[in-house]
Amino acid sequence: MKSPRLIFTLLFDGSSFMMSRNFRLQRVGGVEWLTRNYRFASVSEAIDELMILDVSRGVRDRTAFLDAVREVSRGSFVPLSLGGGITDLEDALLLLRSGADKVVINTSLWLHPGLIEQVARIAGEQAIIASVDIRGGCEASEVMMANGSTPVGNDTGDLLGRLGHLPFGELMLTSIDRDGTGMGLEMGSLELLDSSFSHPVILAGGVGKGEHIADGLADPRVTAVATANLLNFVGDGLARAREDVRSRGLDLCVHLPAQSVAALSVNFESEPT
Amino acid sequence: MLAQRFGIVDIGMGNLFSVVSAMEQIGVEATTVNSADQIGSYTHLILPGVGSFREASLRLDSTGIGEAIRGSVRDGACLLGICLGMQLLGSSSTEDGVSRGLGLIDFEVDRFDSVEVGGAPVPHVGFSRVSAEPVVLFEGIPNRSPFYFVHSYRVAEVTESSWCAHAEYGSRFIAAVGLERVVGAQFHPEKSQGQGLRLLRNFAMMGR
């Protein structure tokens, strides 16, 4: 069977990586800070996927974003999801051509649902993560868009149900209230999904330690947990969290480090046969 | 001995950047190739692919790249299809209506049906453990190593002349396939950490 997944999310605002708390952003550091504290080439076996979101609040500079993506993901051979402010097909395809396996689409789910079909027709539905931000718990909740600034509606169950008919792959549910708090995931968000909802679900917002990841993955409705908590997992924090999750009986798989595979000499010209 | 030359086939639909970086990591310089008349100059071709089978099949036909790949394989080139690229090695797929593949290995591609996957979500996204016969492509990779899959369609039965590796998603499905110098991986080796790099390295060593 399939293994559950741990996704690490990075938030980039055009020049810096950010820590988000209830969707309010705080600068943490630039590419140098990140590569010093999270050498992805050597920590990526601790995660299953990497997600990098362009959270620029003003005009997005895709060139700067993609430069940062390249810098951060060099030497790391994990699935990569990119997103943030995708409003047209050309932009989605640019990200997919730049190394993204999946694009993360949030606001356009509500404003340009036709975009989902366009992207799916060319890249396949599995290349789209529908990202939905939710304020509140399962009792009273509201779907938000545009970085959590604009309400979409408070009939959350219906909105998610309607969304379910669009041709995307996975659904990521992020709790705005838990975001960046390290208090654990909002499991109540799952109650908003109809039992017939058939897309894999990524749960995000609130992870502070391995135990929270394990709690999320233990729910059969959850296929992956994402954390963007940049400060809680510095150094070998991700590796330790992964070990913690595994020790709780969750079947996160064991990856061979990329560095363990010896390089061939350049196209073998000098290699004896 | 002639130096190996590695071409990554670009039909505008694959994640070429990741494959190029993965090849670089294992010390192999690979160039992207997007025209039919260049295909013949490579000893090793990689056909990555993400997206719709029909669209890819149309592009392979209209650009002449499909025919050029078949020609290269006949002349002894090694070919690795990744994800959609593996599906394209086969005879046909039912994605968006039936369309033809390269016909290099005899199999058909069809969507996972909900019974087969035991009601699990489709697409199948994530790491699944792969059990492989002892074939060159999996040399040095522990059995049941996890590889990264993202797909809604899968290869149906293959004929006995080809080998295959399996993974499970509700039930067993074909995760990799090979016939002589033509091999395919339904998963993404370029996204499967060290175990994926080792598989690419094994491919690079093929045909020596």
**Which pLDDT value is given to residue A238?**
94
For chain A, how many residues are written?
273
CA angle A128, A133, A134 (to 5 degrees): 140
Question: Which of A97, A254, A265 shows the shortest C-beta gap to B27?
Answer: A265
**Most A CBs within 10 Å, among B125, B166, B172, to test the A interface:** B125
Q: Which residues pair with A225 in a beta bridge?
A: A6, A203
Token pair listed for A39: 């050498």
Contacts of A79 in chain B (CB under 8 A): 148, 150, 188, 191
pTM over 0.90, yes/no: no
The 3-state secondary structure of B18-53 reads HHHHHHHHCCCCEEEECCHHHHCCCCEEEECCCCCH
Which pLDDT belongs to residue B28? 94
Contact between chains at B126 and A4 (C-beta distance less than 8 A): yes
- Does position B200 have pLDDT exceeding 80, yes or no? yes
User: Alpha carbon A87 to chain centroid distance?
Assistant: 18
**CA–CA separation, A16 and A47 (whole Å):** 22
Closest CB to A3 among B5, B16, B146: B146
List, for residues B22-42, the tens digit of each pLDDT value.
999 999 999 999 999 999 999
Nearest beta carbon to residue B121 from set A44, A100, A198: A198
Instruction: Classify domain B6-205 at the CATH class level.
Output: alpha beta
Question: pLDDT tens, A194-247?
Answer: 988 888 899 999 999 999 999 999 999 999 999 999 888 888 899 999 999 999
Residue B154: closest CA among B162, B145, B143, B164: B164
Task: Name the pLDDT band for B179 (thresholds 50, 70, 90).
Answer: very high
Among all residues of A, which ones are annotated catalytic? 133
Testing the interface with B: which of A5, A6, A7, A77 to mutate, by most B Cβ within 10 A? A77
pLDDT in tens, A108-157: 999 999 999 999 988 888 899 999 999 998 778 999 999 999 999 999 99
Per-residue pLDDT at B138 exceeds 90: yes
- The 8-class DSSP code of residue B200 comes to H
**Which domains, and CATH codes, for chain A?**
5-256 (3.20.20.70)
Of A179-193, A215-229, B55-69, B148-162, give the lowest mean pLDDT range. B148-162
Which chain A residues are Cβ-neighbours of B50 within 8 angstroms?
96, 101, 123-124, 127
- Record: contact B126-A223, CB cut-off 8 A: yes
Taking CA–CA distances from A5, the nearest residue in chain B reads B126
Contact A126 B152 (CB under 8 A): yes
Helix, strand or coil, per DSSP, at residue B63:
helix
**Model pLDDT, residue B100:** 95
A54-94: pLDDT as tens digits? 999 888 999 999 999 999 988 889 999 999 999 999 999 99
Which residue in B3, B146, B194 is closest to A258 by CB distance?
A: B194
What was the pLDDT predicted at B3? Answer: 81
Instruction: Provide the residue ranges of all domains of chain B, joining segments of one domain with +.
Output: 6-205
Query: For A256, which residue in chain B has the nearest alpha carbon?
Result: B194
ipTM for this model = 0.84
Report which DSSP code applies to B113: P
